[in-house]
Structure formats: structure tokens, C-alpha cells
Structure 1
């Protein structure tokens, strides 16, 4: 059997890097894509069967060039993980159009552009699209007007992809991470925020990057060969609780 190849955007750190490593452990090769050239190339250099391509996924021409290079590397793409994204939190009244567009151009436009550019390659392999949204795309919360809206749009885009690309054997699914214990999150979350999340999540803890990566790689694998159009919340039960007042669960 030929070695399968996954392309992962936002692969220089966090969930993207964890996903890259898990694909490699499963015997895949990986094309790592990120706009942070220094960190990307450093991480890729430490991994076998991983190749780095520097690309801003919001730039249509850069995406087309990246896709052509990625396909040329191993001659095939079996899975595309659209993980690249930016976080921006602030009140609606303070979110001007320029700020709105900065979020949309990466979180939504980037998913659309990368997917479109690699559909021809995925048709050949009957491969998988895996988009990363967020729990913020499933439930509204304060300070997330641009971020949450962009992720809700990614969820709908995933359903459109599943509906239209299924005839080619391409599967499209979406993972919505809940609170994840990343270095960035731990740097900005106060103890009060951490305690509040723990109280609101039925499993009473943050998730890990590895736990999210496990779901991603499974949905891209042959083990999920009849799964498409699905929105999977990897969130410790956070979305299922609604208001989720801890006192009402005891």
C-alpha cells in the first residue's frame, strides 16, 4: 500500500502540531502548513516524513501555489485538516469591520480556499476534509462576535462540502473543540476562568491537544469511512449542558 499523506494547516503549534504527530505515528506522511515560517520549519525539521510549506491561507494565490507544491511532494493528498485560525475576543461595539475581516479571512476564507484548491487531489484518493470549528460556533457567548460567527460558518461550510462532494467519495466532517489546555489558554486564563470552565464542563476539566487530535485523525482514517457531514464536539460535554449551572447538576 502507498503511504497516505495528510495536509494540516496551522501545523506549527497547538492542535495542528499534535495532529501532525499523531498522523506520523499512524504511518502517514504530513505536509505541515503555517504562516509562521520560523516555528514551522523548526518543528518540521524535528520530525520524520513531515514537510513544511509556509503559506498564509487567506491569500488565494499563495494557497494555489501551496496546493500544487503539496501534491507534488508525495503525488497524493488523502486528508486535508483545515486547522489554521485566529482568535479575537472583544465586545460587538468594539469590533470594527477591519477587525471582523481579519478573523473571517483566516477562519472562514482560509478553510474555503484550501478546500477548493485540494478538491482535485482528494477526488483521486477519495479522501477526507476535516475542518476545525469551535464550541463557539455551536453556542453563543460574550466577546466572540467575529470568532463565533466565523466558526458557525465553518460548520455550515462542512455540511455543504459533505452534501456536494460525497458523489466523488470525499468525506467532510467538522470537529468543534471545547476549552483546551494549550499554552496560550493557560497564559491568559485566570484561576477564576479556569474554575468556571471546570464547573461548567461535565468532565470537570479542560481537554488536551492530544485528545482533539485523536478525534481528527480518526475521522480522517478508513475507520470512519461511512462518516460524513458530521459535527463532532470534542468538549467534555460542555455544549450538551446548555446553561449548565453546577448547582443544578448535584
Structure 2
């Protein structure tokens, strides 16, 4: 963050989008995998926010967008992944009022059924054909549709939005 700040003359937006997933239930998840999920999905978000805070504080504000998932809202058979994404939601909602005092907005996006490489490895062809039927649009979402939501939350158009998880799920939940 310090290098980006020095090179770019500030950091206006942090998009905490790094994450890993799993398509396995609680019984199949071993402690090493749990540690890795927590390190990337939870600590990665916390570390990013913590690193950018002094920069955004010094410049008088900014916008942080954290990536959660609909798995953070909805219990499913990907228990440990869902736990990490629910933690991101709770952290976002908890830290937003605190950082708001410094002019920093903190929001989260919660994608579901987005056509990404990670999802393609999780879903069989049959599952990929059936899954969109649970959305209002009967199709998979595109990464660009998630990016547009992030761009809105990062922009001045969302200047009065903080502490909000935005579902990017075509009405799935």
C-alpha cells in the first residue's frame, strides 16, 4: 500500500477481491485447508483494510469494497467457505461505522452464480445447466456485471453508502 501510495499519490479505492473456495462440506475439510481459507478470505480482507487505513485517513477518505459471497448469507454444503464469507460480511458491517469517522466507506459485494474459472471447476456440466434456473434471469452472471457494482460502490455516486453488503445474485436470495 505504501508503494502504491508513493507511486500514485494516494489510494482512493481498495478492492479486497482475493479469495479461494472449496466445493466440499465440513467433514471433508481438514484443518490445514481451514487455515488457508481463513488466511486468504478473512485475514486477507483485514490486512488490506488495515494497510490502507492510514493512507486513506491521511488523505481524508476513500472507499473499500470487500468481496464476500452469497455463501455468506445462505447456509449450504460448502460450510467452511461460507463461514469465511459470512465473516467478511460481519467485518464489513462492523468496521464501516468506525472508518466512517475518517471519511472511509466500507461495503461488500456478494456474488452468486457468476461465470468464473473457480465456479467452472466446482460445477459439473449438468449442474451448470440447472443452476441458473434459480435466478430471476435464468442465466449465469458475468464478471463484468460484478465489476460494475464494484465500480459504483467505489465511485462518488455511492458517497452515502457504507456498511452495506450488495447482493449480486439476480434474485437468487
Q: TM-score range, shorter-chain basis?
A: over 0.9
CA distance in 1, matches of 2:73, 2:80: 14
Select 2:74's aligned residue among 125, 128, 139.
139
Residue aligning to 1:175 = 109
The 5 Å alignment of 1:4-19 reads none
What is the CA distance between 1:183 and its match in structure 2?
A: 3.4
Please say if 1:70 is aligned against 2:8: no
The number of aligned residues is 172
User: Is there any run of 5+ residues in structure 2 with no aligned partner, and where?
Assistant: none
CA distance in 1, matches of 2:121, 2:33: 23
CA distance in 1, matches of 2:172, 2:151: 22
What is the CA distance between 1:87 and its match in structure 2?
A: 1.0
CA distance in 2, matches of 1:154, 1:135: 11
Residue aligning to 1:35 = none
Select 2:61's aligned residue among 126, 133, 137.
126
CA distance in 2, matches of 1:163, 1:82: 18
Q: Deviations over 1:97-140 (max 9, x none)?
A: 11111101000001001110110111214101100000100101
Select 2:169's aligned residue among 235, 242, 248.
235
Runs of 4+ off more than 4 Å: none
What is the CA distance between 1:215 and its match in structure 2?
A: 0.2
CA distance in 1, matches of 2:7, 2:17: 20
Q: RCO higher in 1 or 2 (8 Å CA, sep ≥ 6)?
A: 2
TM-score by length of 1: 0.66
Mapped contact 1:76–1:125 kept (Cα < 8 A): no
State the secondary structure of the residue aligned to 1:168.
Answer: coil
Mapped contact 2:60–2:102 kept (Cα < 8 A): no
Residue aligning to 1:200 = 134
The 5 Å alignment of 1:86-97 reads 86-97=20-31
What is the CA distance between 1:95 and its match in structure 2?
A: 1.3
CA distance in 1, matches of 2:91, 2:82: 14
TM-score by length of 2: 0.95
Q: Deviations over 1:182-221 (max 9, x none)?
A: 2343354223212221221121111000000000010010
State the secondary structure of the residue aligned to 1:173.
Answer: strand
CA distance in 2, matches of 1:186, 1:120: 38
CA distance in 2, matches of 1:185, 1:147: 13
Mapped contact 1:77–1:125 kept (Cα < 8 A): no
